[in-house]
Amino acid sequence: MRSVQERGAPEAAPHEPSVKQMADRVESLLAGFEGVSTPREAREGAEALVRTLVSLYGAGIERILAVVHDASATDSEEIFARLCEDKFVESLLCLHGLHPIPLDVRVQRALDSVRPYLKSHEGGIEVVSIEGDVVTLRLQGSCDGCPSSAATVKLAVERAILEQVPEIRVVEAEGVTAGATGHAPSLRVESQWIALESLAELATDGLATRDVSGTRVVFVGFDDLIYAYRSRCPACTSPLDGATIAHRLLTCPGCGASYDVVRAGRASDGGRAFVEPFPIVRENGRIRVAIPVGG
C-alpha cells in the first residue's frame, strides 16, 4: 500500500474519472430510481450509487491529504499522525486505502505497544504473514506451564492489533494446535475490556485492589509497569486483599506464599502454582483490564 506522500500531487490520473463525471454519475443514478419497477432494479441501483459515492468521497479525501502534504512540508508527518489518532478519521483513511502509514508498520507498532507485557510473561512474538484482513503470528516461549497466563498474552496481543489496525479482522497464531478446519485458531478469548478509574494507591504502596465487573483484582505497580491478578492465592485460595509487595514478590496475607509479579505471577519457590493474571493495557493515560466473561 502506498502512503499519501508517495502518491504525489493531487492531480487526478488520466484514467480516473473527474469529479464532474462522478457527480454526473450520482445525478444519473438518483434520477434512475424514478423508473425502477422491481426490487432487484432498486437494489442494483442503490449498490451502484453507494459505490459511486464512496469513490467520490475517497477521491476527495485523497486530494485533501495530498494538499496538506504539499503545503505543510516538514509538518506533514505530525499532521498525519494527529489525523490517525482520531479513530473515525483513521477508519475513513483505511476504507479508501489512504492510511499514510503502511499496514505492516502499524501491525508492528501494535505489537510494540504490548511487548513490555509480553516480557513479563517471558514470551516473544513475530509476524509470520499479513494476507488480506488476516495477520498470522508466531508466539515464542510464552508462559511455559501456565495456560491461563498464555491466554492473557493472546488476548492482549489480539486486542492491540484489532484496535490499532482497523483493516485487520482476524488474528491467528501459528504453531498452536489447529481446529477441525485446519486453520490456525484465532487468539480471541471470551473476555471484556473494562476501563478503570485512577489507581492512585499504586503511587504510594505499589498495590491497589478493585472490584472490576464483579471480579476482585489486585493491581501491582513495579518498574513503571502495571500488572493485574485475580485476588485469590492458588496455595490457600484466600483473597489477596491486604497482600504486600517487596522486591517484586506479592505475598499472600493468609499463608505467606509469594508470587513473582514480573514473571506472570509464578510461585517464588519454583513450584507450578500461578496467581491468575489479567491482561492490562495503558492507552493515552487510561488503563483497561480484560476480565473473563462470567468472572
Q: Per-residue pLDDT for the chain (295 aa), expressed as one digit of tens each?
A: 344 444 443 444 445 567 677 778 878 888 888 887 888 888 888 888 888 777 777 777 777 777 777 777 677 777 777 777 777 777 777 777 777 778 888 888 888 877 766 665 556 778 888 998 888 888 766 444 455 555 666 777 887 888 788 888 888 877 554 443 444 555 555 667 788 877 777 767 788 888 988 899 999 887 777 888 999 999 999 999 999 998 889 999 999 999 988 777 888 887 778 888 887 777 666 788 888 776 6
Cα dihedral 87/89/91/94 (nearest 10): -130
Strand 249-251 to 258-260 pairing = antiparallel
Chain centroid, CA 208 distance in Å: 25
Apex 162 CA angle, 161 and 163, nearest 5: 95
Write down how long the chain is. Answer: 295
**Which cell numbers hold the place of 38?**
422491481
pLDDT score at 190: 61
CB 125 within 8 A of CB 137: yes
pLDDT score at 141: 62
Nearest to 128 by CA among 190, 191, 187, 188: 187
Per DSSP (E only), the strands in the chain are 124-131, 134-140, 170-174, 191-195, 207-212, 215-222, 225-230, 244-246, 249-251, 258-260, 266-267, 277-278, 280-283, 286-292
> Which of helix, strand or coil describes residue 218?
strand
**Rg of the chain (C-alpha set):** 25
Beta-carbon contacts of 172 under 8 Å, excluding residues fewer than 6 positions away, are: 134, 135, 136, 137, 183, 184, 185, 186, 187
Burial of 47 (0-12, 13-18, 19+ CB in 10 A): exposed
pLDDT score at 2: 42
pLDDT score at 186: 55
Beta-carbon contacts of 118 under 8 Å, excluding residues fewer than 6 positions away, are: 124, 125, 142, 153, 156, 157
Nearest to 188 by CA among 197, 196, 179, 180: 179
Burial of 142 (0-12, 13-18, 19+ CB in 10 A): buried
pLDDT score at 225: 77
Nearest to 110 by CA among 143, 175, 156: 156
**Which cell numbers hold the place of 284?**
493515552
pLDDT score at 50: 81
| 153 vs 165: CA distance, rounded Å | 18
| 217 vs 277: CA distance, rounded Å | 9
CB 52 within 8 A of CB 26: yes
